[in-house]
Amino acid sequence: MSIGDFPELQAACLSKQARAVWAKHDRDTEGWLPLWRHMADSGLVAGLLWDEWLPGQVRRLIATALPGGMDDARRLAVWLAAVHDIGKAAPAFACQVEALAVAMRDEGLAMPGEKRMPDRRLGPHGLAGQLLLQEWLTEHHGWARRATAQLAVVVGGHHGVPPSHSDISELRRHPALLRTPGAEDAWRAVQDELLDAAALACGVGDRLADWRDVQLPQPVQVLLTALVIVADWIASNPDLFPYFPDGLAGQERRIESAWRALDLPGPWTAVEPVGAPADLFAARFDLPPGARLRPVQEEAVRLARAMPAPGLMVIEAPMGEGKTEAALAAAEVFAARSGAGGCFVALPTMATGNAMFPRLLRWLDHLPDEHAGTGAHSVFLAHSKAALNEQYAGLMRGPVADIGRDGGGSEWHHRADTPAASAELVAHHWLRGRKKGMLSSFAVGTIDQLLFAGLKSRHLALRHLAVAGKVVVIDEAHAYDTYMNAYLDRVLSWLGAYRVPVVILSATLPAARRRELAAAYAGLADADPHAAEYAPIAEARGYPLITTVVRGAEPAISCPTASGRGTEVTLVRLSDDLDRLADLLADELAGGGCALVVRNTVDRAHAAAARLRESLPDTQVRIAHARFLDLDRADNDARLLADFGPPATVAAMKGERPERCVVVATQVAEQSLDVDFDLMVTDLAPIDLMLQRMGRLHRHERGEGQLGRPARLRAARCYVTGVDDWNGRPPMPVRGSRRVYQTYPLLRSLAVLDPYLTDLTETGAAGVPPVRLPDAISPLVQDAYGSEPVGPDEWHTETEKARRAYRHHRADQADRAQAFLLNGSGRDGSALVGWVDAGVGDVDDSRRGRAQVRDSKDTVEVLVVQRRADGALVTVPWLTEGRGGIELPTETAPPPRSARVVASCGLRLPWQFERSSVLDRAIAELEANYFPAWQTKESHWLAGELVLVLDSDCHTRLAGFQLDYSRSDGLKVIADD
């Protein structure tokens, strides 16, 4: 079977009427492409995509739904791509270009002019094609109309949104949009002729009878739709497939030239690792000679090999146990067994994504591949500021493709003189942009990119194809709230239906949440998440813990031994008084040392840092939070690692640790930063976050028995503050913490920690045990997130009141999440009609897009520049590497390098600007800083962005607030009195 015969068949055998039907038209050149040619191009591309690009994991899933297996699956995919635009052989479409419509009328295909068809919007060509294909299957091949929908909806949805039932009903009430009255026979003959020719060329004519009773699962329909979309987009690019009506060029030469120019990297073909896990880790992660695996790492590989099929693996282990490396090793085993063509690592934030990206690249550099040397692997950094990442930018080759509504609006042009990258990893020119980037084989990005797969939105099928062919790794799984978890659970149910291997990582996962994740992947989330076979998952109390789930099999639980690393942390109550904090740190750091003070809000961090600088003149006081410019925040993270990272990192980057230093940080210190402090002071937080913070205390061995630390700080101590009155019943967390986390989780955290807390004057008091990490992690988390009462009896009245408020809050989150939440995968044979009805339209990784899958208030991001005293507009002066103080023209577009520096100075306005009236006022004032020359194509880095202009002292006013920015403290916001 070969679609390659299709063009010759068309040119030689099709009627003049069929050859006159057009598909593409260029208004500038008046060039056009006949429908038969575009059908052939699309089918050929689909065949190449199937053979050379689509991961085996996806092909196998489609093949399992068809009686002829893989051969049937390829035939079906190629045929659907070939017929996807059959709806263009209808008057509602053909009337749009009068000169081409005249040529069709001359061949007997009568149609009114475009202006005489005011209702033609009811018959878009995708929907028209679905109805025409359904008619052809019923009238010519004996299909029941209901059975035709599961195939025809692929045609109907190839522009990103499957039609709704009302769309279909409305078009059926307007048959003149499909065939002009009085010329119905002529139109029907052409439509049938093109469909018959496609069936013959694609080799499906003798298979349609066997497919009549097939019940295609919805996941298969989604993947076929996505494949057709990709094939259509490629075949619609006139630089690859030039427009001409006569078809003189041979089809074989045409497709070979296009495919060679596209140079699309093939999928990863994983080689299953053999031998001892220690050998695998040594080969992939550059372990030093003699290094021993952590038991969790060894067990993850053993279980991946022992599972009856690749599925879900949930790894719960302490901070610093190498969970990421365990996940990548398991992913390699899973990919080799499942046919996954890549890997996606999802993390909570852009910063954690940026930190993970070089780790992924190092892993990829060590991976074997069955097809090594035959081409590059495509990689993608999946967040809105990826282009500003230096490592990712260095992998880019070729310009970005920007696909328009019909797939033909691409601005990509192949440059024949561009040499292929010598490296194996490239950010491929075609696999960039908000709709296609995740189709790259390997990706690191924010969790939003995964959650978007559960959001009813345009081109959702592409997002599903992007993850359906990969192994998915989800890090920091405890970091998501009820709203986000609603999307995560729904996405997991689809990933389970796609048989996608998933590895979930967490140091601190509540047992009930563990069961919810497992049940979602197993497809029980909408049925019986409390099924008996999943009860042990919620009851397991071992730690570390690895849970495995394969659809159709009972889940399994493994408890690998701990690595033996451990820390005993003494917890001490500390009043929420800045003078008392300053006195404490002066005493504790008298002999030197490095302390971390974690505050739950930026305002509290600013206040603490200011007071400590006054009281500790001989101590370096630094601050770290999210209200820094992007470049400043990245530099802050690098300095933290250079000063407080693992001994080997510190030695490699600068060679010594500060003698005496206090870092005042917000939650940015909790995740994915491998930093280590001698002493900690932290605001009360939910228990999982408290434990994450404690994981930054004595994280690394500094000399035998911690003798490398100052004598006073060789025993780990964590002071707990952020409570209004420790004598309260219960002690009430400060207002800012309650606003961030809700009162109930904070009180439950305090209740389970209460037996470990001593007063400042009683440190080391007899009978008060330290918190032993990691042994205490699971018991504390399970108790805090369990349903049993905890804490003194006199706390229960207030705790119960907080519980009711928290349940209401979570119910509200869950209800709001349902608004655009995708349905489950449905029953076999149920067509995707109405799949994304009432959706959000297009979605991307903008702030507004992320707000759709996160329970966050809308705010805006600004690009920060400075107005010098002489009136010149410049980049802020302290930026390193020649980026500071660059003069910026306003009458012309800034040079690309200057514009990129400005784009790297993004800053999100904080919570004070969330209220709609304040936000509207702020946007209006920011729009006054409008430089028309910055909104042109020549300034793509800056076009559409809001610019915040600071004065020469780095101050400004906005919407009734005073804004002050400094390199040391970031943004401060002061309200008018």
Give the pLDDT of residue 846. 55
- 41 within 8 A of 254, measured Cβ to Cβ: yes
- 942 within 8 A of 976, measured Cβ to Cβ: no
Q: Rg of the chain's alpha carbons, rounded to an integer?
A: 31
Query: Could you tell me the CATH number of the domain that includes residue 188?
Result: 1.10.3210.30
Query: 114 and 76 share a domain?
Result: yes
Is 933 domain-assigned?
yes
Cα 391 from Cα 347, distance rounded (Å): 18
Helices 743-753 and 796-817: crossing angle in degrees, nearest 10, is 130
Give the pLDDT of residue 977. 63
Is 862 domain-assigned?
yes
Phi-psi category of 780—alpha, beta or left, where left has phi over 0 and alpha has psi -120 to 50? alpha
- Mean predicted confidence (pLDDT) in 227-231: 97
- Residue 894, Cα to own-chain centre: how many angstroms? 31
Query: 157 and 248 share a domain?
Result: yes
Is 414 domain-assigned?
no
Other Cβ atoms closer than 10 A to 395: 20
Q: Does residue 730 have a cis peptide bond before it, meaning omega lies within 30 degrees of 0? A: yes
Lowest mean pLDDT among 38-42, 841-845, 874-878, 961-965: 841-845
Is 413 domain-assigned?
no
Given 244, 262, 280, which residue is the final one in a domain? 262
Give pLDDT tens digits for 350-382. 888 888 988 999 999 888 865 444 457 888 888
Is the pTM here over 0.85, yes or no? yes
Q: How far is CA 656 from CA 426, 593, 653, 660, in A?
A: 36, 13, 9, 12
* Confidence check: pLDDT of 651 > 50: yes
Given 558, 578, 613, which residue is the final one in a domain? 558
Is the model more confident about 658 or about 651?
658
Both tokens of residue 818?
A: 């349902």
- 588 within 8 A of 713, measured Cβ to Cβ: yes
Domains held by the chain: number: 4
Element holding 127 (H helix, E strand): helix 125-141
Query: Could you tell me the CATH number of the domain that includes residue 461?
Result: 3.40.50.300
Give pLDDT tens digits for 528-563. 555 677 888 988 888 999 999 999 888 999 999 888
Query: 591 and 696 share a domain?
Result: yes
Query: 106 and 142 share a domain?
Result: yes
Query: 254 and 310 share a domain?
Result: no
Is 834 domain-assigned?
no
Which of 754, 823, 821, 752 shows the shortest CA–CA distance to 788?
Answer: 752
- Mean predicted confidence (pLDDT) in 730-759: 96
* Confidence check: pLDDT of 857 > 80: no
Lowest mean pLDDT among 129-133, 400-404, 515-519: 400-404
Give pLDDT tens digits for 446-465. 899 999 999 999 999 999 99
Pair type for strands 961-966 and 955-958:
antiparallel
Query: 344 and 490 share a domain?
Result: yes
- Mean predicted confidence (pLDDT) in 34-60: 96
Give pLDDT tens digits for 788-808. 999 999 999 999 999 999 999
* Confidence check: pLDDT of 7 > 60: no
Q: How far is CA 626 from CA 668, 919, 970, in A?
A: 7, 19, 8
Q: Is 346 helix (H, G, I), strand (E, B) or coil?
A: strand
Q: Residue 409 gets which letter from DSSP?
A: -
Query: 190 and 67 share a domain?
Result: yes
Residue % of the chain over a pLDDT of 70: 90
Query: 40 and 68 share a domain?
Result: yes
Is 416 domain-assigned?
no
Is 87 domain-assigned?
yes
Lowest mean pLDDT among 213-227, 424-438, 615-629, 797-811: 424-438
Q: How far is CA 243 from CA 24, 44, 234, 593, in A?
A: 8, 16, 14, 71
Lowest mean pLDDT among 115-129, 257-271, 854-868, 941-955: 854-868
- 340 within 8 A of 501, measured Cβ to Cβ: yes
Cα 260 from Cα 258, distance rounded (Å): 5
Give the pLDDT of residue 724. 94
Q: What would the 3-class secondary structure string for 765-819 be?
A: CCCCCCEEECCCHHHHHHHHCCCCCCCCHHHHHHHHHHHHHHHHHHHHHHHHHHH
**∠631-911-481 over CA atoms, to 5°?**
90
Cα 380 from Cα 395, distance rounded (Å): 9
Query: 61 and 174 share a domain?
Result: yes
Q: How far is CA 392 from CA 15, 349, 888, in A?
A: 51, 17, 26
Give pLDDT tens digits for 563-620. 877 889 999 999 999 999 999 999 999 999 999 999 999 999 999 999 999 999 999 9
Give pLDDT tens digits for 76-94. 999 999 999 999 999 999 9
Query: 301 and 220 share a domain?
Result: no
Which of 571, 600, 582, 745 shows the shortest CA–CA distance to 662?
Answer: 582
Give the pLDDT of residue 851. 64
Give the pLDDT of residue 374. 47
Cα 152 from Cα 155, distance rounded (Å): 5
Give the pLDDT of residue 425. 63
Residue % of the chain over a pLDDT of 90: 68
Taking the chain, what is the end-to-end CA distance rounded to the nearest angstrom? Answer: 78
Both tokens of residue 820?
A: 């655009």
* Confidence check: pLDDT of 424 > 60: no
Q: State residue 910 phi and psi, 5-degree precision.
A: -80, -170
Given 558, 575, 600, which residue is the final one in a domain? 558
Amino acid at 407: G
Give the pLDDT of residue 654. 66
User: Is residue 614 packed enough to be buried (19+ CB in 10 Å), middle (13-18) or exposed (0-12)?
Assistant: exposed
Q: Is 432 helix (H, G, I), strand (E, B) or coil?
A: coil
* Confidence check: pLDDT of 442 > 90: yes
Give the pLDDT of residue 701. 84
User: Is residue 38 packed enough to be buried (19+ CB in 10 Å), middle (13-18) or exposed (0-12)?
Assistant: buried
* Confidence check: pLDDT of 331 > 50: yes
Is the model more confident about 430 or about 124?
124
Give the pLDDT of residue 763. 59
Is 279 domain-assigned?
no
Query: 312 and 459 share a domain?
Result: yes
Cα 39 from Cα 19, distance rounded (Å): 12
Helices 125-141 and 145-156: crossing angle in degrees, nearest 10, is 150
Q: How far is CA 247 from CA 21, 84, 252, 408, 703, in A?
A: 13, 20, 12, 19, 76
Query: 379 and 472 share a domain?
Result: yes
| Band of pLDDT at residue 750, cut at 50, 70 and 90 | very high
Rounded to 10 degrees, what is the CA torsion of 240, 241, 244, 247? Answer: 130
Domain span at 13: 3-262
Both tokens of residue 369?
A: 């591949």
Which of 507, 565, 546, 545 shows the shortest CA–CA distance to 690?
Answer: 507
Question: What integer best gives the mean pLDDT of the chain?
Answer: 88
